[in-house]
């Protein structure tokens, strides 16, 4: 039985990683500060099924708390670093917070890990935010990094800290550049959740801008598999994406169709800091991790619609 720490474990992706680690028989410590960026009650609900598991422990606290980290890392062999201040739009309005949590917080974690028995850190990065301006598509890991938001800069800094700590101190790490993750328990402020919720109620679906921005939507189960593979494989940076992109307009239409909804699409002003297009090349992950996506966007949207419908009933 291996002991793992999942930072941000009460969140969307973190809670799925915990669920899978427990199912595999591992011991899991969840560190989360239950930040009010979105409902702490929802986060509590995410991890509620694990609370009676003897191999699960919840530690409520912040990755910027060095003393707490040192205690929490006792006996931990793998760290899944999901804790972050999310939100491109919020970062444009208040740039310091994502820097403090995503960059300085990651540095704080890595320093604490150096004094522990941790074998490897699996760091959750971002794709569209780190790559920023599009030079070519699909993005491969050699694509220039030109973040267009403070959030993107903070996530890129976290990657660099992981790389430097491996080069200088021998701390093994991998950074996974997720491409627009969705699925059960996803953040309520994300497009697929908002669109599906509106579709189920036959309410208007609001798109910011003209809807022609494209995204490579990746189902959470595929993301979790990549994390688990990296316990034993991989070093450096990997794109983890479905390898297919669709426009926000097409996404809304698919959701309306899947849910047999009468919703109409309406448009609002575009938002600063959002990347125009994302599309993953995950060839490096296939070659070095033997990982490839399994869930198509159509299948994923159907799964999500079913989950949301059941959760609201």
Q: What are the CA-CA distances from residue 269 to residues 39, 210, 280, 295 (Å)?
A: 26, 8, 27, 32
Q: What are the CA-CA distances from residue 244 to residues 36, 40, 158, 210, 307 (Å)?
A: 33, 33, 27, 20, 23
Q: 169 exposed, middle or buried (CB, 10 Å; 0-12, 13-18, 19+)?
A: exposed
Contact assessment for residue 89 and residue 37, using Cβ atoms and an 8 Å cutoff: no
CB neighbourhood size of 154 (10 A): 28
Q: What are the CA-CA distances from residue 124 to residues 85, 158, 225, 293 (Å)?
A: 12, 9, 13, 17
Contact assessment for residue 220 and residue 182, using Cβ atoms and an 8 Å cutoff: yes
Among the options 37, 38, 136, 151, which is catalytic? 151
Q: Which two tokens stand for residue 66?
A: 């060095």
Q: Alpha helix locations (H) across 83-203? A: 88-93, 96-98, 105-114, 128-131, 150-169, 191-200
Q: Alpha helix locations (H) across 58-149? A: 66-72, 88-93, 96-98, 105-114, 128-131
CB neighbourhood size of 188 (10 A): 12
Contact assessment for residue 123 and residue 174, using Cβ atoms and an 8 Å cutoff: yes
Is residue 37 part of the annotated active site? The answer reads no
Handedness of CA 255, 256, 257, 258 (dihedral sign): positive
Q: How many CA atoms lie within 13 A of 225 on its CB side?
A: 17
Interatomic CA distance for residues 123 and 180, integer angstroms = 16
Which residues are annotated as catalytic? Answer: 151
């Amino acid at each position: 039985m291996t002991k793992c720490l999942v930072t941000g474990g009460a969140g969307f992706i973190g809670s799925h990683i915990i669920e899978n680690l427990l199912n595999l028989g591992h011991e899991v410590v969840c560190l989360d500060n239950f930040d009010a960026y979105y409902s702490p009650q929802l986060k509590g609900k995410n991890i509620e099924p694990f609370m009676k598991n003897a191999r699960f422990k919840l530690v409520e606290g912040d990755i910027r708390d060095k003393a707490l980290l040192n205690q929490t890392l006792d006996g931990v062999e793998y760290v899944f670093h999901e804790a972050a201040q999310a939100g491109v739009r919020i970062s444009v309005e208040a740039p310091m917070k994502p820097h403090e949590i995503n960059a300085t917080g990651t540095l704080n974690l890595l320093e604490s890990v150096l004094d522990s028995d941790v074998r490897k850190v699996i760091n959750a990065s971002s794709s569209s935010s780190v790559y920023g301006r599009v030079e070519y598509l699909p993005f491969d890991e050699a694509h220039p990094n030109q973040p267009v938001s403070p959030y993107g800069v903070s996530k890129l800094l976290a990657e660099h800290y992981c790389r430097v700590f491996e080069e200088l101190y021998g701390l093994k790490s991998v950074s996974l550049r997720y491409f627009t993750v969705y699925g059960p328990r996803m953040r309520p402020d994300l497009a697929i959740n908002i669109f599906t919720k509106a579709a189920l109620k036959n309410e208007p679906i609001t798109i910011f801008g003209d809807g022609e921005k494209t995204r490579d939507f990746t189902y959470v189960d595929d993301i979790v598999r990549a994390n688990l593979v990296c316990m034993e494989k991989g070093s450096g940076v990997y794109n983890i994406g479905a390898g297919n992109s669709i426009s926000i307009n097409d996404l809304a239409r698919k959701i309306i169709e899947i849910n047999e909804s009468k919703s109409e699409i309406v448009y609002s002003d575009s938002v600063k800091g959002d990347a125009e297009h994302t599309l993953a090349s995950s060839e490096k992950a296939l070659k070095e991790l033997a990982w490839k996506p399994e869930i198509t966007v159509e299948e994923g949207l159907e799964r999500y619609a079913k989950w949301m419908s059941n959760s609201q009933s």
